[in-house]
Amino acid sequence: MLNLPAKFSLENRNVLVTGATGYLGRAMVFGLAELGAKVLINGRSRKKVDNLIDELQCVGLSAAPAIFDINDESGVRSWFQKHSKMPLNGIVNNAYAGGAGSIETSIESDYRDSYEVTLVSAQRLLQCALPGLRIAVSEYGQASMVNVGSMYGIVSPDQRVYDNKKVANPPFYGASKAALLQWTRYAACEFGHEGIRVNAISPGPFPSNNIQASNPGFVAALAKKVPMDRVGQADEIGGPLAFLISDASSFVNGANIVVDGGWTCW
């Protein structure tokens, strides 16, 4: 029987992280790699991906490129077909692209685009990854997918913390993240019996370093909404994520861990 520290180890595990070069993505990548995972760095920009791999390898961590656009069906399927024999122990579905706005300022394509990048891409990713996930189950006993949701898939933003409607956290973002959380439950029920667990984490206020430096007033307003009286820092997402990817969470399936300092508890 493994002891608890060993269950958190990701030694010799392959973990794919989409949206890996972004603010939270980078923190996720470093956290997983520090636990021993070989992190497959996904992104559209080879230069950004290669730069991140260089950073990891410079400190003795393991990483490899996974260059594809999660919205490009043929590109996604091609990458997974090329790596169909590789055990895929974990997937972190983190990629997102979209703007700001409100119901009044949004246009219909905003909703379609957000749905595509959030939910349709998750469906595509899991379908294409099934052979590798199943190999991981046969070799390691389990595999894990973690979808990155949002507290705004659970509650609505307080419009008063934004300067105007055009820069608010948009309804199409929250609606698509809410859909992703429900899809996570469907996937957990469909594949749990195979040893493929599907869970989610929902980050709260994690403004980027640039926002923290350039707009301290906004960050202070966010902090007032948090029972812990501060915003989150990127490396604080690593622990919950590592737990869900690792064997330490072997009986956790269909869960959503909210990492928001208590924002949604008020």
Question: What tens digit of pLDDT does each residue of 8-29 get?
Answer: 999 999 999 999 999 999 999 9
Question: What CATH fold (topology level) applies to the domain 4-265?
Answer: Rossmann fold (3.40.50)
The whole-number average pLDDT for the span 207-233 is 97
The neighbouring-strand residues paired with 239 are: none
Q: Give the side-chain half-sphere CA count within 13 A for 254.
A: 10
- pLDDT, tens digit (0-9, with 9 covering 90-100), for 184-198: 999 999 999 999 999
Please report where in the chains the tokens 């021993």 appear, as a residue: 36
pLDDT of 227 strictly over 80: yes
Grade residue 83 by pLDDT with cuts at 50, 70 and 90. very high
Percent of the chain predicted with pLDDT > 70: 99
Share of the chain above pLDDT 90, in %: 98
Widest CA span in the chain: 57
Quote the tokens at residue 191. 């594949």
Q: How many CA atoms lie within 13 A of 33 on its CB side?
A: 27
What pTM, to 2 d.p., does this model score?
Answer: 0.96
Residue (of 177, 242, 231) closest to 209 by Cα position: 231
Q: How many other β-carbons are positioned within 10 Å of the β-carbon of residue 135?
A: 18
115 contacts 170 by C-beta, under 8 angstroms:
no
Q: Tens digit of pLDDT for each residue in 144-187?
A: 999 999 999 999 999 999 999 999 999 999 999 999 999 999 99
Tell whether the torsion through CA atoms of 173, 112, 118 and 65 is positive or negative: negative
Helix (H, G, I), strand (E, B) or coil at 16: strand
Q: For residue 201, is pLDDT > 70?
A: yes
**H helical segments located in 169-255:** 171-191, 209-214, 216-223, 238-245
Give the model's pLDDT for residue 121: 97
Residue boundaries of the structural domains of the chain:
4-265
Average pLDDT score over the chain: 97
- Say how far apart CA 52 and CA 236 lie, in whole Å: 19
pLDDT of residue 2: 60
Helix (H, G, I), strand (E, B) or coil at 134: helix
Contact 28, 34 (CB under 8 A): no
| Short-list 34, 145, 41, CA closest to 89 | 145
Give the pLDDT of residue 1.
59
